[in-house]
Amino acid sequence: MTKLDDAMKEHMAYLVLVEHISFSYKDFLYFKINGKPYKMSHGTFRNKISKMIQNGEAELYIKSNPNFYTLKGCQYDNRKPMTGNHTEVINTQKTIRHPLYQIVEGTPFGERAIHDLHLNFKTQGIYNALLNNQELKKEINPYNKGIHLHYTNINNFTIIISFYPTDTCKIVIGCSENPILLNFDGVNRLTTILCRIEERLSYLCISSSIKIPYYIYWLITLWHIGKDSISEYSREMFHCEWNVAEQMILRIYSKTIEKKNKVRIEMQQNPGFTIEKLIKLGFEKILE
């Protein structure tokens, strides 16, 4: 099994188990795992996903153009992708007749918020220290040797913390169902959760000389920023996405939040700056 296979499976697991969405080949044209970029052609994706279906690891979720897939046995809703060529340059008349335009144009949306956040940092010796900690309940990936810790009770967020042989720590804050608003209160809420994660990591290393870097120096490697509809969405479920730049994906899809269907407009970006910069400049300046 190649490193690309490992990266593909890890990205698939993130999309399905953390974001709770199906995936297409477009999610793998450019993606990052532990800060390392990967690229995959449509043909390569098709060959790999076919083998995974044969091996019982994945399954076809929605037959369309493009097809959408999920991990074997993971089903969420009746979401269907909007039809149409996402790379096509369309004129104004075609735009206003498109069903997606009609949905968005007539839907009031709330404030912008973070729906998922990925961070990482490095500190020498942390991987071996945790690997040799016999009291720590952990999962070890047999392919990349990553140590995975899962928490779901930190301020009602789903937290996945992973350590790799390179002494890199990757933190995923799953807040898709509990978004962090991009305002002053949102910054305070984010720093509070990061402080609690830092405290938990420091506790794991309490018997060693390992020092966890102050959370403001952690690097933001990926975030999903968007808006949810205020009113409930009652039409057919859908999922549509565009690659608008090399490291930027726009998604518009329907999602069930607190037993109500909503429309979400979301931008996936790879910021590449620290929490310190975010605090100093603020969300609005960063997102200009």
**φ, ψ (nearest 5 deg) of residue 141:** -70, 120
- Answer with the one of 60, 76, 92 that is the final residue of a domain: 76
Which of 48, 76, 104 lies at the terminal end of a domain, its last residue? Answer: 76
129 and 237 inside one domain: yes
The H or E element spanning position 239 is strand 239-245
Contact (Cβ atoms closer than 8 angstroms) between residue 275 and residue 220: yes
**What is the domain range of residue 111?**
79-288
Backbone phi, psi, residue 224, to 5°: -115, 115
Q: In this predicted structure, what is the pLDDT of residue 195?
A: 94
Same domain, yes or no: 132 and 248: yes
For 115-171, the pLDDT digits (tens) are 999 999 999 999 999 888 887 877 888 888 899 888 877 888 889 999 999 999 999
Written as six digits, the tokens of 272 are 């590449």
Q: Are residues 207 and 237 in the same domain?
A: yes
What's the pLDDT score for residue 101? 65
Reply yes or no: is the peptide bond before residue 66 cis, omega within 30 of 0. Answer: yes
State pTM to two decimals.
0.66
- The count of structural domains within the chain is 2
Which residue, 76, 94, 123, sits at the end of a domain? 76
- From the CB of residue 256, how many other CB atoms can be counted at a distance below 10 Å? 15
In this structure, the answer to whether residues 134 and 179 fall within a common structural domain is: yes
If asked whether residues 64 and 123 sit together in one domain, one would say no
Residue 205 has which token pair? 């290393």
Residues 156 and 227 occupy one common structural domain: yes
Q: Judge if 205 and 118 occupy the same domain.
A: yes
Do 57 and 158 lie in a common domain?
Answer: no
Whether residues 138 and 27 share a domain: the answer is no
Residues of the chain with pLDDT under 70: 1, 65, 75-102, 244-247, 282-288
Please report the pLDDT score of residue 173 as a whole number. 92
Do 68 and 138 reside in the same domain of the chain?
A: no
Task: Say yes or no: 71 and 164 in one domain.
Answer: no
Of 187, 183, 158, 192, nearest to 173 by C-alpha is: 158
- 119 and 173 part of one domain: yes
